[in-house]
Amino acid sequence: MKRFLHSCTALTLSFAFTTAAVAQEPLKELGAGEGEVSIVAWAGYIERGETDKAYDWVTEFEKKTGCKVSVKTAATSDEMVALMNEGGFDLVTASGDASRRLIAGKRVQPINTDLIPSWKTVDERLQSAPWNTVEGVHYGTPYLWGPNVLMYNTEAFKGEAPKSWSVVFEDVTLPDGKSNKGRVQAYDGPIHVADAANYLMFHKPELGIKDPYELNEDQYKAALDLLRVQRTLVGRYWHDAMIQIDDFKNEGVVASGSWPFQVNLMKAEKQPIASTFPEEGVTGWSDTTMLHAESEHPNCAYLWMEHSLSAKVQGDAAAWFGAVPSVPAACKGNELLTDEGCATNGFDNFEKIRFWKTPVSKCESQGECVPYHRWVSDYIGVIGGR
């Protein structure tokens, strides 16, 4: 019921995306910290050393600023939108399929980059990205970015990486001689429609898909048809990273779209796990730390945004999650990330990733497209077997 309510709230905000956001005035100057800051974040994004003592970028911040950090972990972008709509939080680490909805719904406020000294160190590819900047107005500070990789069990694939996403979309026999039915997973979020569209861009060019987030009725129908095939193969739709890890370790799952976070955790445990960029390419995420329009602790929030852009925090967080830092300086001299970490995690693959963004009815590639609220309702139907 909780997830359903969140989806409905997110759906309401998706309608709001069709209206233009009117920017409120950003904070003019910083005052004293209010003593606390609350953050809605992806799993693994805000660590205080509880899982691994080496990964802690909260304790020092709390000591230095007096701002106590509390974190609410969200499993999907729709849940993040719903939580921000409900209120009571200061910041959110929003992906591109949530950020523009939050801006249009006036749930987040513009930021004053002059109050964030480290802003100038942010990768120029991200400073004015379309998922965090509207008409030159910045809505937050870039945090981490990366790909949605194909994670696989090396024993099931006999040590050779699968070349195609077909292993999770089509009924196939895997290299271990067994069917993929019941042994693969798919992401439990409407944005997964884009992964199906991305697959079709490569295999059915006659559909004319130019952007997996901008689909006309025929393209959208083809994507849903593919997802209905996938429904017959999927053992579980995942949204909780730790449950997906358990499924790979204990429930016989051998392939799924995933995040580098899960891959890294399992590899660290010496599990037979690896990941790859299949021939069709990948979708991905670029996340922005955004300030709630009604934040009760804006000074602590600004202090956190500045802290989150330090090269040390960026490098540590990128190493922990298997992501790419938004501050290029973090790519050198970080003990946890290492000097090879940025290249390993995809720093040079920025142009190859089709980053999450909210589908809208008025789209650039073909004028009229299927809007996000349809993705929400139809994907629920697909998962339900309709």
In tens, the pLDDT along 228-237 reads 999 999 999 9
Among residues of the chain, what percentage have pLDDT more than 70? Answer: 94
- 107 phi and psi angles, rounded to 5 deg: -90, -15
pLDDT band at 20 (very low <50, low <70, confident <90, very high): very low
pLDDT tens sequence across 78-133: 999 999 999 999 999 999 999 999 999 999 999 999 999 999 999 999 999 999 99
2: Cβ contacts below 8 Å, ≥ 6 apart: none
pLDDT band at 23 (very low <50, low <70, confident <90, very high): low
**Element at 4 (helix H, strand E):** helix 2-16
How much is the average pLDDT of 177-186?
98
255: Cβ contacts below 8 Å, ≥ 6 apart: 150, 151, 152, 153, 156, 157, 162, 167, 168, 174, 180, 183, 184, 185
Domain boundaries, the chain: 2-146+284-355, 149-282+360-383
Task: Compute and round to an integer the Cα radius of gyration of the chain.
Answer: 20
pLDDT band at 24 (very low <50, low <70, confident <90, very high): confident
| d(C-alpha 63, C-alpha 46), whole Å | 16
Return the SS3 of 100.
helix
Q: Which of 140-149, 295-304, 355-364 has the lowest mean pLDDT?
A: 355-364
Helical residues (DSSP H) of 17-149, grouped into ranges = 59-65, 77-86, 96-104, 124-127
pLDDT band at 264 (very low <50, low <70, confident <90, very high): confident
329: Cβ contacts below 8 Å, ≥ 6 apart: 121, 311, 314
Return the SS3 of 122.
coil
CATH assignment, 2-146+284-355: 3.40.190.10
**Domains 2-146+284-355 and 149-282+360-383 alike in fold:** yes
How much is the average pLDDT of 126-143?
95
The answer regarding whether domain 149-282+360-383 maps to CATH 3.40.190.10 reads yes
pLDDT tens sequence across 155-179: 999 989 999 999 999 999 999 999 9
pLDDT at 386: 80
